[in-house]
Amino acid sequence: MVWCRRRTDTVRPLPDHHSFNEHEYIIDAIAERDAASASARMLEHLLSVERQLLTPHSPLALTKPVGRDAEHDNQLDQYNQ
């Protein structure tokens, strides 16, 4: 299901897609009942998705993983206060 619609295409992300690891980190934090970590991991994931969806990609950007930056760290720090 994507956006409340059943998927009809067969295109799937590669097995090493970054979101899979992010989802695992969130699930692990929830399983450990670590609310602060789960919240921080979820925020990291949402910011990552936002960057992927809203950042124009060049061929170089698609081959190089997006790294954390100062703005991202500031957003996490503000959220965790």
Smallest Cα–Cα separation from 53: which of 10, 1, 3?
Answer: 3
Task: Classify residue 41 by burial, with Cβ atoms within 10 Å: 0-12, 13-18, 19+.
Answer: buried
Residue 32, pLDDT score: 97
Element (H, E) at 35: helix 35-54
| Residue 75 banded pLDDT, cuts 50, 70, 90 | low
Q: How far apart, in whole angstroms, are the C-alpha atoms of residue 40 and residue 75?
A: 10
pTM greater than the 0.95 cutoff: no
Cα separations (Å) of 60 from 20, 36, 49?
22, 35, 18
Q: How far apart, in whole angstroms, are the C-alpha atoms of residue 69 and residue 49?
A: 15
Residue 19, pLDDT score: 86
Q: Report percent pLDDT > 70 for the chain.
A: 62
Q: Does the pLDDT at position 57 exceed 70?
A: no
